[in-house]
Structure 1
Amino acid sequence: MKIETMTQPELLQIQKSFSTKEEILEELTKCLSENGYVTDSKEFLRAVYEREHHSETGMENGLAIPHGKSKAVKKAGFAAMTLTKPLQKEAWASLNPENQVEIIFLLAIPETEAGTTHLKLLSELSTRLMDDSFVASLKSTSTAKQFYELLSENGEKASPKFAESKKFVLGITSCATGIAHTYMAAEALEKAADQKGIAIHVEKQGANGIEDRITTEMIKKADGIIFAVDTKIKDRERFAGVPYVQVKVAEPLKNSQKLLDRVLNSPDGMVDGERTENKEEINKKGFKSELMSAVMTGISYMIPLLVAAGLMLGIAKLIWILGLGMDPGLIGDVKYNNSDGLVGFLHLLDNFGNMLFKFIYPVFSMFAAYSIADRTGLIAGFAGGLFAGGLHYTFWGIEGGIPSGFLGALVLGISAGYISRFLNEKIKLSKNLNAMKPMFLIPGLSVLLIFILNLFIVDPIFGGLNKIISDGITSMSGSGKLGLSAIIAAATAFDLGGPVNKAAGAIAIGLSADKIFPLTPRVLAIVIPPLGLGLSTMIDRFVVGRRVYPQDLRVVGGTSFLLGFLAISEGAIPFMLRNPLITIPINIIGSIIGACTAVALGAVQWLPLPAVWGWPLVTHLPAYLIGLTIGVLVIALANIFVRYALLKREEAK
Structure 2
Amino acid sequence: MELNHMTEKSLIRYDVKETTKEKVIWTLVESLYEQGYITSKDEYFETVLAREKVSATGMEAGLAIPHGKSSAVKKAGFAVARLSNPIDDWESIDPNNKVELVFLLAIPEGEAGSTHLNLLAELSTRLMDKEYYSRLMAAENSEQFIAALDQVSVKEKEDKDTYEKTILAVTACAAGIAHTYMAAEALEQAGKEKGIRVLTEKQGANGLEDEHTATMIQEADAVIFATDISPKGKERFQGLPYIQVRVAEPLGKGDELIDRVLNNPDGIVSAENDTESARGSENQPANKKTGVLAEMGQAILTGISYMIPVIVAAGLMMGIAKLGAVPFGLVNEINDISYATHDNELFVILHHLDKFGFMIFQFMYPIFAAFTAYALADRVGIVSGFIGGLFAAGIHYRFWGIEEGIPSGFFGALILGLSAGYIARFLNQKIKLNKNFQAMKPMLIIPAISVLSIFLLNFYIVDPVFGGLNVLLRNTIEASQESGEIVLSTIIAAATAFDLGGPINKAAGAIAIGLAADEIFPLTARVLAIVIPPIGLGLATVLDKYVVGRRVFDANLRVTGNTSILLGFIAISEGAIPFMLRNPIITIPINIIGAILGAVTAVLLGAVQWLPLPAFWGWPLVENIWAYLIGLLVGTLFIALANIFIRHMLIKRGRMTITS
TM over 0.5: yes
Q: Which residue of 1 aligns with 2:301?
A: 296
Q: Which residue of 2 aligns with 1:207?
A: 236
Percent identical across equivalent pairs? 58
Q: CA deviation at 1:204?
A: 7.3
Work out the CA distance in 2 between the residues paired with 1:614 and 1:350: 18
Q: Which residue of 1 aligns with 2:202?
A: 171
- The answer for unaligned runs of 5 or more in structure 2 is 1-158, 165-187, 225-230, 253-284
Secondary structure of 1:402's counterpart equals coil
Q: CA deviation at 1:371?
A: 0.2
Instruction: Tell me: CA distance 1:519–1:286, structure 2 relative to 1, closer, same or farther (3 Å).
Output: same
Q: CA deviation at 1:614?
A: 2.0
Q: Given the alignment, which residue of 325, 339, 344 partners 2:342?
A: 339
Secondary structure of 1:171's counterpart equals strand
Work out the CA distance in 2 between the residues paired with 1:652 and 1:423: 32
Secondary structure of 2:586's counterpart equals helix
Q: Is the CA contact 2:202–2:210 (under 8 Å) kept in the aligned structure 1?
A: no
Q: Which amino acid aligns with 1:311?
A: L
Q: Which residue of 1 aligns with 2:8?
A: none
Q: Deviations over 1:373-426 (max 9, x none)?
A: 000000010111111111111110112121222111111100100100010111
Q: CA deviation at 1:475?
A: 3.4
Q: CA deviation at 1:337?
A: 3.6
- The answer for unaligned runs of 5 or more in structure 1 is 1-128, 135-156, 191-201, 222-279
Aligned positions, number: 430
Q: Given the alignment, which residue of 607, 613, 634 partners 1:603?
A: 607
Instruction: Tell me: CA distance 1:287–1:348, structure 2 relative to 1, closer, same or farther (3 Å).
Output: same
Matches within 5 A, 1:373-384: 373-384=377-388
What RMSD, in angstroms, separates the aligned Cα atoms of the two structures?
Answer: 3.6
Q: Is the CA contact 2:201–2:209 (under 8 Å) kept in the aligned structure 1?
A: no
Q: Is the CA contact 2:202–2:211 (under 8 Å) kept in the aligned structure 1?
A: no
Matches within 5 A, 1:562-601: 562-601=566-605
Work out the CA distance in 1 between the residues paired with 2:498 and 2:232: 45
Instruction: Tell me: CA distance 1:337–1:175, structure 2 relative to 1, closer, same or farther (3 Å).
Output: farther
Q: Is the CA contact 1:295–1:577 (under 8 Å) kept in the aligned structure 2?
A: yes
Q: Which amino acid aligns with 1:300?
A: S
Secondary structure of 1:217's counterpart equals coil
Q: Is the CA contact 1:406–1:577 (under 8 Å) kept in the aligned structure 2?
A: yes
Work out the CA distance in 1 between the residues paired with 2:538 and 2:530: 14
Secondary structure of 1:207's counterpart equals helix
Q: CA deviation at 1:482?
A: 1.7
Q: Which residue of 2 aligns with 1:507?
A: 511
Instruction: Tell me: CA distance 1:178–1:471, structure 2 relative to 1, closer, same or farther (3 Å).
Output: farther
Q: Within the alignment, does 1:367 sit opposite 2:398 as a pair?
A: no
Instruction: Tell me: CA distance 1:462–1:515, structure 2 relative to 1, closer, same or farther (3 Å).
Output: closer
User: Mean Cα displacement is larger for which, 332-341 or 446-455?
Assistant: 332-341
Q: Is the CA contact 1:596–1:627 (under 8 Å) kept in the aligned structure 2?
A: yes
Q: CA deviation at 1:217?
A: 2.8
Q: Is the CA contact 2:245–2:287 (under 8 Å) kept in the aligned structure 1?
A: no
User: Mean Cα displacement is larger for which, 337-346 or 480-489?
Assistant: 337-346
Q: Which amino acid aligns with 1:301?
A: Y
Q: Within the alignment, does 1:309 sit opposite 2:309 as a pair?
A: no
Instruction: Tell me: CA distance 1:182–1:321, structure 2 relative to 1, closer, same or farther (3 Å).
Output: farther
Q: Which residue of 2 aligns with 1:180?
A: 215
Matches within 5 A, 1:245-644: 283-322=288-327, 325-340=328-343, 341-644=345-648
Q: Is the CA contact 1:376–1:438 (under 8 Å) kept in the aligned structure 2?
A: yes
Work out the CA distance in 2 between the residues paired with 1:158 and 1:313: 57
Q: Which amino acid aligns with 1:532?
A: G
Secondary structure of 2:341's counterpart equals coil
Secondary structure of 1:413's counterpart equals helix
Instruction: Tell me: CA distance 1:204–1:363, structure 2 relative to 1, closer, same or farther (3 Å).
Output: closer
Work out the CA distance in 2 between the residues paired with 1:534 and 1:485: 24
Q: CA deviation at 1:632?
A: 0.5
Instruction: Tell me: CA distance 1:206–1:438, structure 2 relative to 1, closer, same or farther (3 Å).
Output: closer
Work out the CA distance in 2 between the residues paired with 1:310 and 1:354: 8
Q: CA deviation at 1:471?
A: 3.3
- Normalised TM-score (structure 1): 0.60
Q: Is the CA contact 2:544–2:644 (under 8 Å) kept in the aligned structure 1?
A: yes
Work out the CA distance in 1 between the residues paired with 2:542 and 2:193: 47
Work out the CA distance in 1 between the residues paired with 2:342 and 2:401: 27
Work out the CA distance in 1 between the residues paired with 2:597 and 2:639: 10
Q: CA deviation at 1:533?
A: 0.8
Q: Is the CA contact 2:545–2:551 (under 8 Å) kept in the aligned structure 1?
A: yes
Secondary structure of 2:607's counterpart equals coil
Q: Deviations over 1:175-202 (max 9, x none)?
A: 9996325566x99xx9xxxxxxxxxxx9
Q: Which residue of 2 aligns with 1:107?
A: none
Work out the CA distance in 2 between the residues paired with 1:304 and 1:440: 30
